[in-house]
Amino acid sequence: ILENRGAVMGCSNPHPHCQIWSTAYLPTEAAKKDSNQLAYAARNGNRPMLVDYVQQELRRDERIVFQNEHWVCVVPFWAVWPFETMLLPRRHVLRLTDLNDGEVSGLAEALKCLLTKYDNLFECSFPYSMGFHGAPTGSRLSGESGHWQLHAVFYPPLLRSATVKKFMVGYEMLAEAQRDLTPESAAARLRELPGDRHYAGDLS
């Protein structure tokens, strides 16, 4: 499940919408996540990597943007985009269909809060690409998936203002990505913004 928001992200439809993609194979990004999570679980008593990771972030309390009873939003330490975030459930959850009613309500609250903070950052309709990754289904549904943890990722391109975006060019294309600000400072800026009041007023 993915969503692109804003013309700068190539979004051709101005209204909010998302896409659901399904393939008969595990795409590259999901395959990397699968192998890394599986390797971590094998080395750590079958504990899911992202379950351990969210506990580590909660203990450190440096990169958390928002949290409620069921969800934690962080700027991950490996973030490449300036205000990249990851949204994780507190308990071990494989797929969206495994969420209980409280987690569904908590997810709605978390999404509303995060997207409001994004818009408030530069007082604009904040562009991003986002998506959910969960345990594979289809032919892999009957296989071992306990190493997986459901999570959402947000990749927004804006850097310093509503009109200045980060470009992946030069060294970043030929060598490796570079950060323009630390994950901790990005998290602090987002955390300080209101998540319950939109800069444009009541949008309901």
Across 169-174, average pLDDT: 87
Catalytic residue at 133? no
Helix (H, G, I), strand (E, B) or coil at 35: helix
Catalytic residue among 17, 133, 147, 151: 17
The amino acid occupying position 83 is: F
* The pLDDT of residue 7: 73
The percent of residues above 70 in pLDDT, for the chain, comes to 93
Mention every residue, 6+ apart, whose C-beta is less than 8 A from residue 107: 70, 71, 87, 99
* pLDDT of amino acid 68: 98
The pLDDT-based confidence of 112 (bands split at 50, 70, 90) is: very high
Q: Could you give the domains of the chain? A: 2-192 (3.30.428.10)
Residue 193 has pLDDT above 70, yes or no: yes
Least confident of 103-107, 166-170, 186-190: 166-170
- With H, G, I as helix, E, B as strand and everything else as coil, classify residue 129: strand
Sign of the four-CA dihedral 86, 89, 91, 92: negative
